[in-house]
């Protein structure tokens, strides 16, 4: 009677117990993965969303952005016009006496402008926008790579924050389609930083070298952190010779482009460095600004994002270890460039375009 009245608890099905155990195991595994350096690669953003969003905004920049700098007109659009149509104004920097500007930078853009000029015939406005769209595409690709790299290394949240900043800041909007060497350096710095986070160290150094030689030689200070740490982390021989081969190839092309354009053997990259660093440069004649110029300009272009970039060095000691040192290496060009450029008497907004995406 007693045994009949007693009811025993029915055991849980094996599948239910197994699923519960598996759930706890998965949660523990995810927790350990986050503690050991971030979410897995498949947890990052996919390429489609940032490509779509940034592509739309860079298209808007290409079609509606004004020309902000007179140097963009006379030092780059005019020489490109001369290459295409054999007419155009010449600044003293492009005279054979000084030979400070490399025509290789112009010829790269002529690869797009020349077919456009043949297709659109005398419609030069369409040629202008074709080059701008080309710049917008490059900017979209490099910025997307940085967003995806950040999301895969540090999670979707940080990737979305970076995407929002790139979309909403006026500095990135106008720099993305400006026909300036500092904008070209910005593309290179952005892509080099992304490749560094992807742990593609040889490619990161090669892209950094291209940004310095094809874009702006002074931006070598900006790419130093990524270059040094890439040499330390990657196979040294592979990374070193990758950067060396890229540099020698581009320097050789620049050398022959200068000979073809100036009609004499000259080296514009060296001429520019010699003029501005070793003496002879008198940039202060074009105006001087105080030490705070780039800080005020940075806040104007990036608002609170610029403040957060400056505060990052303060946040490092209290942040998770997973943000150090990789993210610090990517952000460090902002500090290096601001310190260096703020000490120069002559200041211009375009001088800081190369670190816009790092901010």
Q: Which token pair is 169?
A: 């800041």
Q: Which token pair is 34?
A: 């986050």
pLDDT (mean) for 111-117: 95
**pLDDT per residue as tens digits for the range 155-184:** 899 899 999 999 998 889 999 999 999 999
Which has the closest alpha carbon to 147: 184, 183, 190?
A: 190
Predicted pLDDT at 24? 42
Instruction: DSSP for 3-34, please give it.
Output: HHH--PPPPPPHHHHHHHHHHHHHHHHHHHHH
CA 275/CA 266 separation, integer angstroms: 14
With tokens 């099905």, the residue in question is: 13
Q: Is the dihedral of CA 84, 87, 91, 92 positive or negative?
A: positive
CA 222/CA 354 separation, integer angstroms: 8
CA 145/CA 68 separation, integer angstroms: 27
Helix (H) or strand (E) holding 213: none
Contact 279, 120 (CB under 8 A): no
Predicted pLDDT at 37? 44
Within 13 Å, how many C-alpha atoms sit on residue 244's CB side? 7
Percent of the chain as helix, strand, coil, to the nearest 5: 75, 0, 25
Q: 279 or 102: which carries more pLDDT confidence?
A: 102
Which has the closest alpha carbon to 359: 283, 282, 306?
A: 306
pLDDT (mean) for 9-37: 47
Q: What are phi and psi of 344, to 5 degrees?
A: -80, 140
Share of the chain above pLDDT 70, in %: 84
Contact 223, 211 (CB under 8 A): yes
Per DSSP, the chain holds a count of helices (H) and strands (E) of: 17, 0
Predicted pLDDT at 306? 85
CA 317/CA 242 separation, integer angstroms: 34
With tokens 């890229």, the residue in question is: 246
Predicted pLDDT at 284? 63
Question: Is the per-residue pLDDT at 149 higher than 80?
Answer: yes
Predicted pLDDT at 319? 67
Quick check: bond before 151 cis, omega within 30? no
Name the pTM for this structure: 0.84
Predicted pLDDT at 275? 82
CA 153/CA 204 separation, integer angstroms: 16
Cβ atoms within 10 Å of 108's Cβ, excluding its own: 16
Within 13 Å, how many C-alpha atoms sit on residue 354's CB side? 30
Question: Is the per-residue pLDDT at 201 higher than 50?
Answer: yes
pLDDT (mean) for 341-354: 81
**pLDDT per residue as tens digits for the range 267-313:** 898 888 888 776 655 666 666 788 888 888 888 888 888 888 888 87
Q: Which token pair is 154?
A: 């540090």
Whole-number average pLDDT of the chain: 84
Predicted pLDDT at 280? 57
Predicted pLDDT at 321? 62
CA 35/CA 320 separation, integer angstroms: 9
Predicted pLDDT at 297? 87
Give the N- to C-terminal CA distance of the chain in Å, as an integer: 80
User: Of 10-19, 108-117, 311-320, where does the model show the most confidence?
Assistant: 108-117
In 155-200, which residue ranges form alpha helices assigned H by DSSP?
156-168, 170-175, 181-197
Predicted pLDDT at 282? 66
Predicted pLDDT at 328? 86
pLDDT (mean) for 332-351: 84
Predicted pLDDT at 2? 42
Looking at 15-24, 82-91, 206-215, 270-279, which range is the least confident one? 15-24
Contact 293, 347 (CB under 8 A): yes
């Amino acid at each position: 009677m007693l045994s009949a009245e007693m009811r025993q608890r029915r055991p849980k099905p094996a599948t239910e117990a197994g699923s519960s155990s598996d759930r706890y195991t998965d949660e523990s595994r995810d927790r350990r993965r986050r503690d050991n350096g971030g979410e897995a690669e498949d947890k990052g953003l996919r390429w489609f969303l940032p490509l779509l969003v940034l592509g739309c905004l860079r298209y808007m920049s290409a079609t509606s952005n004004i020309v902000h700098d007179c140097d963009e007109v006379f030092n780059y659009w005019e020489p490109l016009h001369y290459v295409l149509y054999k007419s155009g104004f010449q600044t003293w920097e492009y005279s054979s006496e000084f030979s400070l500007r490399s025509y290789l930078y112009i010829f790269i853009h002529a690869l797009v402008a020349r077919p456009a000029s043949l297709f659109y015939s005398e419609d030069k406005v369409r040629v202008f926008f074709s080059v701008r769209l080309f710049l917008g595409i490059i900017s979209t690709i490099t910025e997307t790579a940085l967003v995806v790299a950040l999301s895969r290394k540090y999670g979707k949240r940080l990737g979305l924050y970076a995407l929002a900043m790139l979309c909403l800041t006026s500095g990135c909007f106008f720099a993305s389609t400006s026909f300036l060497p500092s904008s070209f350096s910005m593309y290179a710095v952005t892509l080099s930083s992304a490749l560094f986070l992807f742990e593609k160290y040889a490619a990161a150094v090669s892209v950094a070298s291209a940004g310095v030689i094809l874009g702006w030689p002074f931006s070598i200070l900006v790419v130093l952190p990524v270059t040094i740490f890439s040499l330390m982390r990657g196979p040294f021989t592979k990374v070193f010779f990758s950067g060396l081969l890229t540099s020698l190839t581009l320097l050789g092309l620049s050398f022959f482009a200068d000979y073809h354009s100036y009609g004499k053997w000259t080296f514009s990259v060296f001429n520019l460095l010699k003029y501005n660093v070793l003496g002879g440069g008198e940039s202060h004649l074009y105006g001087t600004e105080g030490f705070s110029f780039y800080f005020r300009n940075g806040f104007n272009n990036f608002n609170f994002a610029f403040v957060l970039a400056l505060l990052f060095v303060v946040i490092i000691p209290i942040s998770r270890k997973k943000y150090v040192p990789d993210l610090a290496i990517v952000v460090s060009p902002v500090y290096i460039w601001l310190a260096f450029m703020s000490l120069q008497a002559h200041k211009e907004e375009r001088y800081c375009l190369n670190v816009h995406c790092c901010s």
